[in-house]
Amino acid sequence: MPQEPPTASLYAQRSLFDGIIVATLGYGALLMLSMQLMQVLLSRPKRGKLYWAIVSYFSMLFVLATFAIGGKLKYAELTFVDFRDYPGGPVGFFNSHLNNHVYIMGQVCTTLVPWVGDIIMIICDLEPKSPYRCCANIAIRRQSL
């Protein structure tokens, strides 16, 4: 009969696993929104330069998010399946292999998604005739009140 892990280790393992589940649920929401956006973009009759800029921007965000969740899921597989008997358990493996290329790829993509997402807001705010410039300024003023 295998020896049961200490309570603190079990709590840490469950926390790691729960984090992966929450990240996957977030990606599921992103996937649904991406499918709806693609349906709207493809049914739009007028397609100019701005259309293709939006499609490429959206596609880049979606690819980055897919690589991010793929890296997280692969690292979770390594942590909980392949190396579950690692000294210290899954938490010990997780903490001692943070330089793994799969983990680094997931973290880099996770960091780039909000950066790329904010680029459109910065561009719209810098464009003098942008219809969204007023909305961004109003939102900033409301937050400062």
Q: What pLDDT score was predicted for residue 50?
A: 73
- Whether residue 138 is contained in a domain is answered as no
- Whether residue 117 is contained in a domain is answered as no
- Whether residue 139 is contained in a domain is answered as no
| CA-based nearest residue to 100, from 74, 135, 68 | 74
Question: What residue numbers bound the domain in which 47 lies?
Answer: 7-111
- Whether residue 90 is contained in a domain is answered as yes
**Tell me: the pLDDT tens digits for 13-28?**
888 889 889 999 999 9
Element (H, E) at 40: helix 7-43
- Whether residue 94 is contained in a domain is answered as yes
| CA-based nearest residue to 69, from 47, 99, 36, 102 | 102
Which tokens is 53 given? 């800029």
- Whether residue 124 is contained in a domain is answered as no
What is the number of domains present in the chain? 1
- Whether residue 29 is contained in a domain is answered as yes
**How does DSSP assign 93-136, residue by residue?**
HHHHTTT-HHHHHHHHHHHHHHHHHHHHHHHHHH-TT-TTHHHH
**Tell me: the pLDDT tens digits for 99-141?**
999 999 999 999 999 998 888 777 766 766 655 555 545 555 5
Entry pTM: 0.76
- Whether residue 120 is contained in a domain is answered as no
**Tell me: the pLDDT tens digits for 43-94?**
877 777 777 777 888 889 999 999 999 999 999 898 888 888 888 888 888 8
